[in-house]
Amino acid sequence: MMLPDDVTTVLCDLDGVVWLAHEPIPGSVDAIAAIRASGRRVVFVTNNSASTRAGQEGALAAVGIPAEGDVVTSAMAAARLVAPGDRVLVAGGPGVVEAAEEQAGSVVVNDGAVDPDGFDAVIVGLHRDFDYPRLAVAAAAVRAGARLIGTNTDPTYPTPAGLLPGGGSILAAIATAAGSEATVAGKPHRPMADLIHAVLGAPDADDVRRTVLMVGDRLDTDGLFAERLGCRFALVRSGVTTGHAATGADLDAADLAAVAAALGADPGNGGVA
């Protein structure tokens, strides 16, 4: 199946599409090069909030994918939900800290110690040192009036060894302990859609529908995000979603190389079919 020629921008998830734990999925690096060589823009849109922008760009460069200025993360979307001057508790990784500091300025990293000064917001993302004291401090801040913001609700993320707990699992624990619902920033939610809309130069709905393609490995994240944006969706079976059940996606493909082929971008021919 071929995709229409009028696709000019490919929004590409990372985990499960380009790589698994930073190990490139076979064919993905050449596929991105071919899509770009065909004259299309590739923007990497990830719910991974743990890494800084430079970290994400550096990891992509290390596998042969230049990406400076082309990475959009859920941490960036979450930071847009706080205001300059807000005091923010970050229950997340360096990517959330970086984005929150740029937006709010006053950031405290949750280390499990009680802070008597209070917070305006708690931003939650994936971090591997999450434990009971950190859970208690984050939940107490929310119960005291801080807004609860999640970078994403992904319960898992794919690795070569299988699925591991994702940032959504940590967010669920804090929300449950605090008795509160979170505002979620990442795919498929509105804050990430608003950020992508701004990154693309605020195109109108018809332009998005005709010219933008979202590529992802999760129907409940990437597929719904494409619906929210109003663009086409290509599902790849190289990450979370496997098997052969019908999905309703505009393209159901094995991997990113197959998506490139459907766009008429041939990795073996300089991006020209």
Q: pLDDT tens digit string along 92-135? A: 999 999 999 999 889 999 999 999 899 999 999 999 999 999 99
Q: Tell me the C-alpha distance between 65 and 176, whole Å.
A: 39
Residue among 220, 223, 221 nearest 251 (CA)? 223
Query: Which entry of 5, 6, 13, 255 is annotated as an active-site residue?
Result: 13
What is the C-alpha separation between 101 and 106, in angstroms, rounded?
Answer: 6
The whole domain housing 161 covers 78-184
Last residue of a domain, one of 184, 204, 231: 184
Q: Give yes or no: 154 in active site.
A: no
pLDDT in tens, 45-90: 999 999 999 999 999 999 999 999 999 999 999 999 999 999 999 9
Give catalytic status of residue 206 as yes or no: no
- Identify the domain boundary among 149, 168, 184: 184
Of residues 5, 6, 15, 266, which has the active-site annotation?
A: 15
What distances in angstroms separate CA 224 from CA 77, 197, 227, 233, 241, one per listed residue?
A: 17, 16, 5, 9, 14
Last residue of a domain, which of 184, 212, 241?
A: 184
